[in-house]
Structure 1
Amino acid sequence: MSEMQVFEGSASGTGGALNGRLSKGVPSLPREPDNSAVVFDVDALRAAFAAAKQAFPPHWNHCVAVKSCPLSVVVQEAVRAGLGIEAASFVELYMGLALGCPAVLAAFDSPAKTDGELEMALARGVLINANSLVELDRIDAIIKRQGCATSARVGIRLNPLVGAGSIAELSVSTSTSKFAVPMTPANVQAVVDSFRKWPWLVALHTHVGSQGYSVEQLAEGIAVLCEIADVIDSKLGKGRVTLLDIGGGLPANYDSDEVSPTFHEYAAALKKAAPSLFHNTERIVVTEFGRAFVAKVAMTVSKVEYVRSSDGSGAEGRAAGKATQQEEDPSNVVGSPGKVPESSLPVEDHQTLVTHIGADLFLRTSYCPGRYSHRLSMYSRNGAALGGSAIRTDVAGPLCFQGDYVARGASLPRASPGDLVVVHDTGANTLSLFSRHCSRRFPSVYGYARNADGTVCVRLVKEKESVQDVARFWGAC
């Protein structure tokens, strides 16, 4: 196997659709250059997987949370590294297994599993984490209906009730959460009784929260899981709980290039709060990292299509003339950005960059800018970092509503049409949140890695959607 084999294959699905026809009598559409693209550093992705494995003991199995970035290249690289997949939907489970993940390393965590999905998951032998006690009743009925023992491992998701983090939308350990069984005294007893009743129930699961939680808060919730596992073992016999799925949630740093917190820092916090995770090697420990794996391994690049001045005249765009006629390969974009501060520049010295990325990719950033933001940097069409004095800049997207902004009030160099804006740390929860509003096309995705001789190999890993692809999605052809 060559070093690049995992992701160097051609993109599948669209083929030559860009030159196809929408319907009979419609002329062929010419191939357009990429106006935006997402670029993955595959070496950095591999390094993130390796860092997790190095930070924790051998009886820990790590899964990549598919919802953070469902690209096949991410799943394939995870499988190649010996990791599993965590699926928040049946489609994610299907895709992970189809891309080579062994069933024993796959976890199915959807909070809305249907009977049909449970039947298929039980048949495949994956780890099923039930979201409620009622779901356990459903699983029992299915097993009885099938009339045979299952090879699947079943767990129950517990809510440790440690409270919210700094982002309410990502806080799932509150008393009103839609996830898991809240760990009140009565529910603890109900969980113990469930383990007493059903021998196929062997695991406990929790996911304390995501971005907005400190490693100490995450560790506090996981310590509750360990305590309940010990209670079950003390009542029903040592080894009754054979697996602890401690979820993911490790946050990412969006303020600089630094990877923080690290997996080693998280391991240290867990050793302090829940040492049995490391000492009891007879219990398998499963993790479900998403953002911590993929957030910092990608950037998103867009051409600046128009520049609007402070009076809305767009004078810069008219002066630039032919600047919009040529595209650059996004793999040529290099450089190390600085943090983008809230601008204090006067509004009179202001530009709005109209780009090809907005709320279609950066849904959370556009709708909740105070809680989700990214660093930005600017380059010329040739890949050279733009210089000059910074001015107050809004980076607008292509969608037809006023809230469609990647950033407001950023301090960026004066730009011209054809320049490139780069959004950093976009590997997680961008492509997977892609919106169909205004029927925009899913962008091209590239991956690059360094060969043994030091050269860089760039490959297209997902082709940009065609007009026909989007029309077909809406049933138009």
Structure 2
Amino acid sequence: MPHQEKVRAALGRATREGVLGQDHPVVGFIDVQGVRDSVTALHEAFAHVPAVLHAFAVKACPLVPVLRLLADAGMGCEVASPGETRLALAAGFAPEHIVLDSPAKTRAEIREALTLGIALNADNLAELDRIDALRPDGSRSVIGLRVNPQVGGGTIAAMSTATPHSKFGVALDDPGARARVREAFRQRPWLTRLHAHVGSQGCPLPLIAKGLAALHRLAEEIDEYVGRRQITSLDLGGGLPVNFSDDSVTPTYHDYVQALTDTEPALLDGRYEVVTEFGRSLLAKNGFTAAVVEYVKESGGRRIALTHAGAQVAVRTVFMPDAWPVRITAHGPDGLPKTTRVVPQDVAGPLCFAGDVVAHERLLPELSEGDLVVLHDTGAYYFSAPWAYNSLPRPGVYGVLHRDGDVLLAPIRTPQTVAELVEESGATHTVALLTGFGSPGSS
């Protein structure tokens, strides 16, 4: 079923069931079969590689039911915090299928990973010293070291992690760095993995391939230096860019594999086990956000639709609209596409600052109060980065399954109530600043 038909069917069901409407004016949706199809495409692209663990980057969509769906589809899991680790375990991922990446792991995080058998990539040489002290005898954890190949950045600086001054990994081109890395491996026979991540959105495939080819060369260099086959796996990170211009999926995972193979034919030849950490490319196009239009007005000759989808659900789009544009479609209160005349309109959010606009002068069918707007390609990060400005409750998220000509909805995240928001904001400690310090002079 084409994407737009899926959206129309889901909106129709959601409005009829009251999932979307005046009581719940902004809602997220995940296409269940679309997620499975994306995972299948990833596995098919790497089918010729003998040993691969595809670990989904939890940061892209930290919702336990979605993670459970991915585990059922044959994915592993990449985590970068104690919270993400707990989410992965709650979703049913086996520890040996979890990879811990973070530039600031505490000793407690490292100890937990080593005890459970979770793989981890040390971000720097000082972290290896911590692992030396904490690693228990018989630990089943695969341990790697993250390096920065320093091949440069893409078009979005914040998404580029292989720049000269990136905070991630050991900077390979810094004076003496390669020698220190080689020696770190020689001293630690249990250090068997190398990891690099060049970046994500805005990073072209040739740049990603260049960085991972450098990772492969370093692995060969280390094995030659230590005089044995020590490195057994390469963690390639993720970073496949997503096309936000239309419904087509480009580049594809096959394009990614071809770019890597063209740049370094030996990278995926089976000598090394491979780990990937894709996130956005698996989920972005399999989710969308729908919101009610509350008011429509004119300002300075420009039509403005005031909706319930703003920076609280689309923070990157609002603050970096050129880097993170979203496609928007206009629908009536029943979910059917609008057929009114097309006019330029601002699609604004509900937050109390002037910049809370998700689209400026967008050509759309003329919107009216009670209509719906859909923000497409929001399956990754839009549900994982809520902004608490103005204390708006987090919206519900629902799975969508199209089956036998019908559309079914299943709750993924229950809409947060105002009462829950108040409790989260310290309501149990209401008088703490008045009475919580004890009498003067008391200890």
Q: Deviations over 1:203-231 (max 9, x none)?
A: 10001001001111111100000000011
Q: Deviations over 1:257-308 (max 9, x none)?
A: 00010000111001111222221x2421000001110010011000000111
Of 84, 104, 114, the residue aligned with 1:112 is 104
- Distance across 2 between alignment mates of 1:58 and 1:427: 30
Of 156, 166, 182, the residue aligned with 2:145 is 156
1:90 has 2:82 as partner = yes
- Distance across 2 between alignment mates of 1:383 and 1:198: 60
- Distance across 1 between alignment mates of 2:151 and 2:168: 14
RMSD: 1.4
SS at structure 2 position matched to 1:34? coil
| Matched residue, 2:399 | 447
Q: Is the alpha carbon distance of 1:58 and 1:48 closer, same or farther for their aligned partners in structure 2, counting shifts above 3 Å? A: farther
| Matched residue, 1:259 | 249
1:175 has 2:167 as partner = no
| Matched residue, 1:141 | 133
- TM-score norm. by structure 1 comes to 0.83
Of 291, 297, 306, the residue aligned with 1:308 is 297
- Distance across 2 between alignment mates of 1:211 and 1:162: 16
2:347 is aligned with what amino acid? V
Which deviates more, 182-191 or 454-463? 454-463
| Matched residue, 2:95 | 103
- Distance across 2 between alignment mates of 1:239 and 1:155: 15
In the alignment, is the contact (CA less than 8 A) between 1:90 and 1:108 conserved in 2?
no
| Matched residue, 2:190 | 200
Q: Deviations over 1:413-447 (max 9, x none)?
A: 21111000011000111111101111111111111
Trace 1:9-408 onto structure 2 (pairs within 5 A): 33-56=23-46, 57-143=49-135, 146=136, 148-184=137-173, 186-279=176-269, 281-310=270-299, 348=301, 350-408=302-360
Percent identity reads: 40
1:401 is aligned with what amino acid? F
SS at structure 2 position matched to 1:358? coil
Alpha-carbon offset, residue 310 of structure 1: 3.1
- Distance across 2 between alignment mates of 1:239 and 1:407: 54
Alpha-carbon offset, residue 463 of structure 1: 1.1
- Distance across 1 between alignment mates of 2:407 and 2:291: 22
| Matched residue, 1:6 | none
SS at structure 2 position matched to 1:301? strand
SS at structure 2 position matched to 1:39? strand
Which stretches in structure 2 are left out of the alignment for 5+ residues? 1-20, 429-443
Q: How many residues align?
A: 405
- TM-score norm. by structure 2 comes to 0.89
SS at structure 2 position matched to 1:289? coil
- Distance across 1 between alignment mates of 2:340 and 2:389: 36
Alpha-carbon offset, residue 386 of structure 1: 1.0
| Matched residue, 2:412 | 461
- Distance across 2 between alignment mates of 1:366 and 1:428: 16
Which stretches in structure 1 are left out of the alignment for 5+ residues? 1-30, 312-347
Q: Is the alpha carbon distance of 1:276 and 1:156 closer, same or farther for their aligned partners in structure 2, counting shifts above 3 Å? A: same
1:195 is aligned with what amino acid? F
In the alignment, is the contact (CA less than 8 A) between 2:27 and 2:291 conserved in 1?
yes
SS at structure 2 position matched to 1:304? strand
- Distance across 2 between alignment mates of 1:249 and 1:37: 27
